[in-house]
Amino acid sequence: MPFRLTRAADRGLKDIGWLQSHFSLSFGPYANPERAGFGLLRVFNDDFVQPGNGFGLHAHANMEIISVMLAGRMNHKDSLGYSEEVGPDSVQIMSAGSGLRHEEHNIGEDQVNFLQIWIEPKLQNVTPRYQRRSFPREKRRNQLTTIVSNEEGTAHCWINQNARLSLGFYDAGQHLEYRLNPVNKCVFVFVMEGQLTVNEQAVAARESIGLWETDLVAIKVEAASHFVLIEAPINH
């Protein structure tokens, strides 16, 4: 079973004072041909935004853009007319489709930390769409919770791609198995807090592992952990 492990210290870094971004995959100023995406997962950034700062109005098209809020509060405003406040344990997705513009700023007194995840869409130039859902930690302890899926529903966000994102919040000593059809699929696991063993590989906080050519991801929780698991196609 092939895999690709990225240690926290080996990630790319952009630090411009108000924004600190750690890149698990190539993005912006970080160009690493060995990490130019992982299947159709194109971007995985661990972003920190200082109070009073943020991203001004800018455009996107034909990309599924997911934000997983870990700490702090940000606003979201877009050309679709949405004006939202996004806090801890919230997940939002923009299907940029034929094009939209948005802006986001830290509106709290504390540092914001969120995961910025981009996945290539299944269909191009669809009507742009925005969704937000909340997934409180206390309601998902010791269970793998779907936060984004290609199956529409009210319990999670919907993505224009044959992909699934799940959050895990587990106590030490727990074991879980994630099964999938390995045909044209890969799995990416990123640990926000704690320590995991993933298919016999140690993965610590702010580290990730990408796996393919397997139908089983076996996870042992070595220390209380919070992590995200992404199942995505390898090719269109």
pLDDT reported for residue 223: 98
- Confidence class for position 179, pLDDT limits 50, 70, 90: very high
What are 55-82's pLDDT values in tens digits? 999 999 999 999 999 999 999 999 999 9
pLDDT reported for residue 107: 97
What are 126-167's pLDDT values in tens digits? 999 999 999 999 999 999 999 999 999 999 999 999 999 999
What are 180-235's pLDDT values in tens digits? 999 999 999 999 999 999 999 999 999 999 999 999 999 999 999 999 999 999 99
Is a pLDDT exceeding 90 seen at residue 47?
yes
Is a pLDDT exceeding 90 seen at residue 44?
yes
Handedness of CA 11, 12, 15, 18 (dihedral sign): negative
String of DSSP letters for 127-190: PPEEEEEE--GGGSBTSEEEEEESS--SSSEE-SSS-EEEEEEE-TT-EEEEE---TTEEEEEE
In angstroms and rounded to an integer, the radius of gyration of the C-alpha atoms of the chain is 17
pLDDT reported for residue 1: 79
